[in-house]
Amino acid sequence: MGQENCPLPGWESSGAGGLWGCPTAPGRGPAARGNPGAEVPTAPEFPGGGREGLGLCRAHKAPARREHSEDPEPATPVRTESPNRSRCRCPWRAQSGAIPVRTESPIGSTPVRTESPNRSRYRCARRARSPWEPKFSETPSGPIPVRTDCSDRPHPGAHGDPPTPSPRSLPGVPGAPKQPGAGAMRPAALPLLLCAVNMLAGQLHAFFKVFIEPPEPVVEYGGTVRLKCGTTCQDPSATGNLETSFYKHQLEASGPNEKVVELRNITEWSSNILCYYSCMGTRKMVSATLIAYRPLEQAVLEPVPQLEVGESHELVCRVPRVAPVRNLTVILHRGATTLHTATFKDNDKNEPQDVVVRHLVTAERGDQGQNITCQALLDLQPSNVRFNTTSSPRVLDVYDFPEDPQLEMSETNLETGEKFNISCSVQDVFPAPRFELSLAGHPLSARVTEDGLRAVAEVSHAQQGQFEVVCSVRVGPKKRRQQTLVHVYSHPQPQLNVNNSVLKEGTEVSGGCVLPPGHSPELQLQVTAGPRVLATWGPSPLGFTWNVSEEDNGTEVLCEARMPASKKNPKKSVPVVLIVTAKPKLDDRGCPSSQNWTEGENVTLRCQARGNPRPHVVCKKDGTTLIPGQWHTAKRAHTGMFQCEASNALGRDKRDITVWVQYHDVNVGLIVVLVLVVLGALAFAGITYGIYYRKKKMREYQLQKEQQRMEMQKLRPEETVGVNGSAPGSQP
């Protein structure tokens, strides 16, 4: 690579790059100098300063072969013929008028001061190329070109740059006055010092910021907004402005390097705002988007109908004319529960839009009475603009009606003028049902039970015919009904007619049963005589005939009328009691021919005659008269045959009865034997007990004697000790 020979520049000539061979910093190269208003990037900050750092400018040893060239014309770049070198010679005008010339050397040369008193030359060592510097293209046939143009550097003071300092003000430069007491600087240190100073100055110039406040401006459509365009550049001569498509009213800034404008009548929903500043020859620009909004209108929740449990319904919430939509949040609430949250972050339109949010809900019993609301939030953060609206609440009205009502009636056949109750009930409904009962289109007064699930009404009708009983139940908006037919009929009491109620046995009785006029044709009649059916069920009139017997005496004849489909008891006529007359009659059923008695017992003679009027019976034997049914004591004299006779007004009847009386004589011998046996048994028992008692006493006596003997034996050893010595207990 070649080298670049440049005069000692001013602070602006090198920017963030090196001096005398140190490359120009980004943003301060020839392109930037040729166009001061262009925006160019700044270098990132690295340890050591600038993009390359201060340590990139270094001296190298001079190679064995060097080549020098000079150009009498100042600031004239000259490319050498050597394939590895290029040079740029620029004059350094010292106060003495001498022109020090910076000579070129091959790559890696070391700065050397010439022996000429009026000339000095400097060579900048080659530095390592930064990874982000533009890499010069290489051609296969020629040397690698190196930018050596020094004429693009701005003149002192151009573009607001500070003027180039005089060589006399630089230490270590020939012709510069020495400070008192300061030692002479070594010639090799001067390029390093100038390189470091230039890099620091370039960093100060390149690193400044341009900003817009607020960074994300918002304004109500048609309103006014105040914006500030500022910079952190400390150069008081920095210039800048804020550009927009709206008319701007300039306001007084609160500090230097600030522009405050007021934009009025904002009629664009989205517009760009540009803020730029030029500082020390560097121009930077930032942009922001001004968003116009509309104040949030109240959300509208569509009406919610009454819902049956398990039924699904789509909730619809509308928010009209929202701008910008991407900042909108719509929340559907059921009471304190959040049902659905909708956001629109992917909506890139800024114009007002009508927003519709839908959500499907399924009704439950617990939803009854809950409020459904739609909340809309327009949050324009980071600005302090926030809108919050809530729709008018919609109250959920939930009902449950799973089954049809049940109509209960004790009878579907109703007699005119008769009253009975009907009831209508439902099961597992919510909320409480409303009942309506009617008969033939006329409402009935119903009474509802405490649980609210049953209604009871009293039914009555004065006209015959078929009428409809209807039970209607309404739960919420749902109405169900149950109906049945009621047959109202006229049911008068039947009338029984018998040709004769007093009859002789074996004669025929006849009669009939009839209903009064105006009765219902469905009624049926039946005639009975006790358990006997004289005429089975049939329409009115109903006749009968019957041959009576003695057993039919006192029998009631009845006529019954009923409705075939009815469960009610039939109506009965006034009964007719038959009187059947008959001659007396004695037979085995009422007067047995043989009877057994026991002597001494209370007995009666059994003999009862049949007949009407009731016959009188008398039984006689050998002048003894017995009346059947009377009690007496049986005697041996009653044994024999009695002749019984029954009589009434219609005739007489006779019958013989044999009576047997059983008796027993007393056996004295047997009684004596029994007494002797009993006495013998008692004597034997007494003797046996006496023997047992004596033996028992003997055993007790012997046992007592044995106990006394044993006690005496225990006392003898103690008496022996008393004779031979002291008795026990007598010793002191």
The answer to whether residue 127 is domain-embedded is yes
Residue 688 has pLDDT above 50, yes or no: yes
Look up tokens 């039914």; give the residue: 459
Q: What is the pLDDT of residue 187?
A: 54
Q: What is the pLDDT of residue 708?
A: 84
Higher-confidence residue of 33 and 433: namely 433
Angle at 17 between CA 11 and CA 23, to 5 degrees: 125
CA distances from 541 to 97, 188, 345, 530 (A): 167, 157, 95, 20
Measure CA of the first residue to CA of the last residue in the chain; give whole Å: 151
Residue 150 has pLDDT above 70, yes or no: no
Considering the chain, what is the average pLDDT of its residues?
Answer: 75
Letter for the amino acid at 12? Answer: E
357 and 240 within one domain: no
215 and 79 within one domain: no
Please check whether residue 378 is in contact with residue 322, taking contact to mean a CB–CB distance below 8 angstroms: yes
The answer to whether residue 695 is domain-embedded is no
Q: Give all strands (DSSP E) within 574-725, no chain letters.
A: 576-577, 579-585, 594-598, 602-604, 610-612, 616-621, 624-626, 631-633, 640-648, 651-662
**Band of pLDDT at residue 117, cut at 50, 70 and 90:** very low
The answer to whether residue 620 is domain-embedded is yes
Higher-confidence residue of 48 and 348: namely 348
**Band of pLDDT at residue 299, cut at 50, 70 and 90:** very high
454 and 383 within one domain: no
Q: Give all strands (DSSP E) within 171-310, no chain letters.
A: 210-213, 218-220, 225-231, 239-243, 248-251, 258-263, 270-279, 282-293, 300-301, 307-308
Q: What is the mean pLDDT of residues 145-155?
A: 39
- Residue 401: partners with Cβ closer than 8 Å, 6 or more residues away: 308, 426, 429, 433, 473, 475, 476, 478, 480
340 and 287 within one domain: no
Pairing of strands 371-379, 386-390: antiparallel
* Domain stops at, among 609, 627, 662: 662
Higher-confidence residue of 529 and 196: namely 529
The answer to whether residue 562 is domain-embedded is yes
- The percent of residues above 70 in pLDDT, for the chain, comes to 69
DSSP helix/strand/coil, 445: coil
444 and 375 within one domain: no
Residue 435 has pLDDT above 50, yes or no: yes
453: containing domain: 406-485
Q: What is the pLDDT of residues 438-454, one digit of tens each?
A: 988 889 888 999 898 99
287 and 375 within one domain: no
92 and 54 within one domain: yes
Q: What is the pLDDT of residue 110?
A: 38
138 and 9 within one domain: yes
Q: What is the mean pLDDT of residues 273-279?
A: 94
The answer to whether residue 671 is domain-embedded is no
Q: What is the pLDDT of residue 55?
A: 34
* Domain stops at, among 662, 679, 711: 662
Alpha-carbon distance 240 to 258, whole Å? Answer: 8
pTM of structure: 0.46
563 and 470 within one domain: no
Residue 96 has pLDDT above 50, yes or no: no
* Domain stops at, among 581, 612, 631: 581
Q: What is the mean pLDDT of residues 250-278?
A: 91
Q: What is the pLDDT of residue 228?
A: 93
Higher-confidence residue of 15 and 202: namely 202
- If one counts the domains in the chain, the total is 6
Q: What is the pLDDT of residue 128?
A: 40
The answer to whether residue 111 is domain-embedded is yes
552 and 506 within one domain: yes
- Residue 680: partners with Cβ closer than 8 Å, 6 or more residues away: none
340 and 225 within one domain: no
Residue 41 has pLDDT above 90, yes or no: no
361 and 430 within one domain: no
Q: What is the pLDDT of residue 589?
A: 85
- Find the CATH number of the domain harbouring 306: 2.60.40.10
Residue 171 has pLDDT above 50, yes or no: no
Higher-confidence residue of 466 and 90: namely 466
CA dihedral sign, ordered 476, 479, 484, 485: positive
Higher-confidence residue of 208 and 414: namely 208
Q: What is the pLDDT of residues 353-389, one digit of tens each?
A: 999 999 999 999 999 999 999 999 999 988 889 999 9
DSSP letter at 198? Answer: H
The answer to whether residue 625 is domain-embedded is yes
The answer to whether residue 346 is domain-embedded is yes
